[in-house]
Amino acid sequence: MTPSEPEPAPVAQPAATGGARRWYSGVSHYQWLVLAIASAGWVFDAFEGQIFNITRTQLLAEVLRTHGTAPAIKDYGDLLLAVFLLGGTVGGLLFGSMADRWGRRPSLAITILMYSVFSGLTYFAQSLWQVAVARFLVAMGVGGEWAVAASLVAEVFPPHARAQASGIFHATSVLGTWAAALAGIAAGAHWRHVYLVGILPAVLVFWVTAKVQEPERWRAAGSRAATAAGPKLGSFRALLGERRWRGRAFFGMLLAAVGLGSFWGVTVAGQDLAKELLLRNGVAAATATQQAKFAYGIVETVGGGVGLLCFGPLCVRWGRRRTFALLHAAAFVIVPITCYLPRTYGELLALLPVFGFLTLGIHAGYAIYFPELFPTYLRATGTGFCFNGGRIVAASTLVLSGWLKSLPGMDLRLAISLLALLFPLGLVILLFLPETKDQPLPE
């Protein structure tokens, strides 16, 4: 297919017989290409989000002109993560609506360019406010890219392959986390070089503009919107004014808030758990910092990546809501086990992949589930509202997390276990959302 050719309409697939049909049967080369481009954008998206988590000690120590164990490191670290969540919310809402109004291709290109450029500019930051502004603008691109790419994959792939393709799309984020961890370990105290690497994804913009075509569904929705009686593309009034879409948007946002809040409060804390355990066992602070980066960025993320890949096949078999529910319940159980059971670094490394599988695996469900909740003319808007609106709600978890962990005498393991109470809240939210298994995308 040449760039000038329109995207082929999905071919109707025969019903599966005896469970022998493979999910990827009938997937075209163009559909694989879209998955590759969307995933590449999301890999670098995750890289841009994680490099701060990996380098924050060295970055803040230099910018604040203090030592790496100063209390201000933790306080300002949580503050900048909250700034990042706020930026992701603004970007997700803005670019999600833009993608519905103007198209998936230009919106995807703009968001990738945005997070690449401002990540690279972080190299030159000399003060806390400069870091905060750069992280906010990076987050705008990050939040927008996910909403656009998730909608694009859902619309391009045939129904029988949609869940698995969307799960693969989100699972590729672990490659970004690994890249950030390896870059952080390699750079050591020279944290600026890691951010300079972050400008490389800008080259994806040329691939996007050359290869991606607007989905047939979006073009048809645009034609309907052009009529006087047609629905308006990307309208927040339509999203929040119509009862059917409003309920899905708000409860989807709350579901995402549980996952995002638990990610920053619980999943990412695997690095802090490892560092604290090593320090308790007499390991030097510098060595403990490096080994903790490896424990979180590589070992835990292996389990998280497997969990993300497994969500698609599991939700095809069990349904979206049931798979979410099982992983939420299991995550609630694994957190205190991981916090209190290990006595050595080796024992913690053995548990962290399971910890990552259960606490991170649910995130692939957002890329699968949220685009299935909304019609084409609101898909990116609704998807962005759910996932990135969840970011701003989750920002309160960062405040709570920082407050808990700073309480005099508070054990880090207890604080993380208390934050895991978010997972049962997700079970309650699921009661108010519909099942979308085996249903066509709304039009």
Q: Which of 115, 98, 132 is nearest to 49 (CA)?
A: 115
Count the domains in the chain: 1
Residue 5 lies in a domain: no
Residue given tokens 């930051």 in the structure block: 125
Here the tokens at position 51 are 């490099």
Distances (CA, A) of 240 to 235, 246, 331, 437: 9, 4, 32, 24
Q: Between 213 and 1, where is the model more confident? A: 213
Contact (Cβ atoms closer than 8 angstroms) between residue 295 and residue 274: yes
pLDDT at 20: 54
Is 60 exceeded by the pLDDT of residue 17?
no
What percentage of the chain has pLDDT greater than the value 90?
63
Q: Which two tokens stand for residue 408?
A: 């005099």
Q: Which residues span the domain enclosing 102?
A: 29-222+232-430
Sign of the alpha-carbon dihedral angle for 121, 123, 124, 125: positive
- Identify the pLDDT of residue 31: 96
Spatial contact of 124 and 195, defined as CB atoms under 8 Å apart = no
Residue 191 in any domain: the answer is: yes
The residues, ordered by sequence, that sit 6+ positions from 55 with a Cβ below 8 Å of its Cβ are 184, 187, 191, 194, 195
Nearest Cα to Cα of residue 208 among 78, 120, 338, 104: 104
User: Hey, what amino acid is at 344?
Assistant: T
Average model confidence (pLDDT) across the chain: 89
Residue 248 lies in a domain: yes
CA distances from 66 to 127, 191, 260 (A): 13, 15, 30
Is residue 8 situated within a structural domain? no
**Inside any domain, residue 77:** yes
* 256 in any annotated domain: yes
- Distance, in Å, from the CA atom of 32 to the CA atom of 238, rounded to the nearest integer, reads 32
Cα–Cα dist 441/436, whole Å: 9
Residue 7, pLDDT > 60, answer no
114 within domain boundaries: yes
Residue 232 has pLDDT above 60, yes or no: yes
**For the segment 297-321, what is each residue's pLDDT rounded down to a tens digit?**
889 999 999 999 999 999 999 999 9
What's 416's domain CATH number? Answer: 1.20.1250.20
- Is residue 279 a contact partner of residue 331, using CB atoms and an 8 Å limit? no
393 CB burial (10 A radius; 0-12, 13-18, 19+): middle
Instruction: Read off the pLDDT of residues 404-416 as tens digits, 9 standing for 90 and up.
Output: 887 888 999 999 9
Q: Do residues 222 and 233 touch, judged by C-beta distance below 8 A?
A: yes
Which pair of tokens denotes residue 238?
């339509």
Chain centroid offset of residue 94 CA: 17
The number of CA neighbours under 13 Å toward the Cβ of 319 is 9
Q: Is residue 24 part of a domain?
A: no
Beta strand residue intervals within 174-332, DSSP E:
none
Compute φ and ψ for 141, nearest 5 degrees: -65, -40
How far is it, in rounded angstroms, from Cα 118 to Cα 137? 6
